[in-house]
A and B are shown apart, each in its own frame.
Chain A
Amino acid sequence: EPEVTQTPSHQVTQMGQEVILRCVPISNHLYFYWYRQILGQKVEFLVSFYNNEISEKSEIFDDQFSVERPDGSNFTLKIRSTKLEDSAMYFCASIAPPRDEQYFGPGTRLTVT
């Protein structure tokens, strides 16, 4: 069964550094999402992406965040200047209509020190 993959599985970075989290969605999927889960809290929606542009973003997704689909297979989340409160598990997901089931990647644990 096809899977969403994410790299790295764990990223440790210093406050103020830029990080890029990578995702490879399932190949025929069209809609892509990033979510995050701070330890002990809910999984929260960050952003949705379709047709090479952001279709919706949450209040969390401020100017420090950006997403890109640079080559038709990867889907990246960039945080320009990380803060301690960005430490979380970041999940990528994708959908192929009309099934409307989101397939999630295994997540990247980001630790900001």
Chain B
Amino acid sequence: AQSVSQHNHHVILSEAASLELGCNYSYGGTVNLFWYVQYPGQHLQLLLKYFSGDPLVKGIKGFEAEFIKSKFSFNLRKPSVQWSDTAEYFCAVNGGTSYGKLTFGQGTILTVHP
């Protein structure tokens, strides 16, 4: 069975600080990897995804993530956060024969102080 682990439950940063949110998954086969964001009061939105190819993927709003297969990791990064990045971030994995089925991590709440 697949599982996803996000290392931090709550991260607090000041504006302009750099961000890295950890995500590790356990699954032995080919995976598709996703980061979703949920702003307060809004629905889950896709930030970025990795299916194949270049392991460094760029998403919306200046976010990027790097897939390191040997470490089963897909960490999310942003060089300089803004107050508007305050949200909850979810790492998710789809693997195996279950088309589209996502297994989520527990989420990381990011609070950015102006």
User: Interface-forming stretch among B12-20, B21-29, B102-110?
Assistant: B102-110
Which size class do A's interface residues fall under? 20 to 34
Distance in angstroms from B98 CB to nearest chain A CB is 5
User: A48 to B46, alpha carbons, bound, how many Å?
Assistant: 19
Q: Are A105 and B43 in contact (CB under 8 A)?
A: yes
Q: Are A31 and B99 in contact (CB under 8 A)?
A: yes
Q: Are A33 and B42 in contact (CB under 8 A)?
A: no
User: SS class of chain B's interface: helix, strand, loop or mixed?
Assistant: loop
Which size class do B's interface residues fall under? 20 to 34
User: Interface-forming stretch among A10-18, A39-47, A62-70, A79-87?
Assistant: A39-47
Q: Can you list 17 pairs linking A and B with CB atoms under 8 Å apart?
A: A33-B101, A43-B44, A43-B90, A43-B107, A44-B104, A45-B102, A48-B99, A48-B100, A55-B98, A56-B98, A56-B101, A91-B43, A91-B44, A95-B99, A100-B32, A102-B100, A104-B44
The 8 closest A-B pairs by CB, nearest first: A104-B44, A43-B104, A106-B43, A42-B106, A95-B100, A104-B43, A42-B104, A31-B100
